[in-house]
Amino acid sequence: MFVSCSTLCFARLPFAKAMRRMLDLEFDRVEYVFGGDSVHEELRPSRIAEGKEAALREIRNTSALNPSSFDIRFDTDKVSDQKTQFEALCWLAKSMIVAVVSVEPSKGKTTFDQEVDRLKELMAIASRYGIVLTVTTHSEGLASRPADAVALCRAVPDLGLTLDPSHFVNGPFQSVSFDEVYPFVRNVRLRDSGRKPGEFQVKVGQGEVEYARIISQLHRSGYKRSLVLDIEDREDNPFDTEAEVRKLKLVLESLL
């Protein structure tokens, strides 16, 4: 296993400065986040789809870090448009030698069968590019409960999980063990979180994410990939984001 850094950790910096800050902190791997409220403009899925070759040149010219994975958060709920964006991002992933890409589970009134159909369509695209597709465990949507996340993996052949334990610690099923997800984990994102509302991100050491136990369980499952440090840089954070990034990096490296 190795430690990587999400671009969301420096979301309020311009993209080039964010990449340099990660190098200053001695990261050598990065998870690029495509989409979401805090995304860098250079990484918007719609922009990638409009000019994937230009996007590839821009990212390569800006970042000296090795990509560990892609975190894809679509700009649209329309499946046909998601497929267009996903095709471009899989092309980008293959061009950058990225093996694992993740997508968020559908939210709202989407049924389990509808989600399975959507993920199968995305899986067909990922398979053509030799990419491992994962769905992120998330407190909102059809992977909020560990058993449901596992059910999705069993219903969609070769689908893996990106484990984000904060969504189990701080989510609606926080009293439920999530040990059953480990055999399906292909990527991991970490921060510290408490169980109360508003505690999705807290200072490292003040929450209830059990890093040592998580890493031990990953070892037992034969996991050898990235631990992505994913403390989102927000204006309303009640702490110094960069200081917490430094702290969590040291904690995770001490456990490996």
List, for residues 30-53, the tens digit of each pLDDT value.
999 999 877 899 999 999 999 999
CA separation for the pair 208, 170 (Å, rounded): 9
pLDDT score of 118 = 97
State the pTM of this model.
0.95
pLDDT at 176 over 80: yes
CA separation for the pair 120, 125 (Å, rounded): 9
Q: Look at the block and give the residue holding tokens 């990034």.
A: 245
- Burial class of residue 38 in the structure, from the number of CB atoms within 10 Å of its CB (0-12 exposed, 13-18 middle, 19+ buried): middle
Q: Which residues contact 189 (CB under 8 A, 6 or more apart)?
A: 6, 31, 71, 136, 162, 163, 164, 166, 228, 230
Work out the mean pLDDT of the chain and round it to a whole number: 95
C-alpha torsion sign, points 221, 5, 76, 57? negative
Domains identified in the chain and CATH numbers: 2-255 (3.20.20.150)
pLDDT at 110 over 80: yes
Q: Structure tokens of 182? A: 């480990």
At residue 71 the predicted structure's pLDDT band, cuts being 50, 70 and 90, is very high
CA separation for the pair 226, 212 (Å, rounded): 15
At residue 160 the predicted structure's pLDDT band, cuts being 50, 70 and 90, is very high
pLDDT at 197 over 80: yes
pLDDT score of 42 = 93
pLDDT score of 75 = 82
Percent of the chain with pLDDT over 70: 100
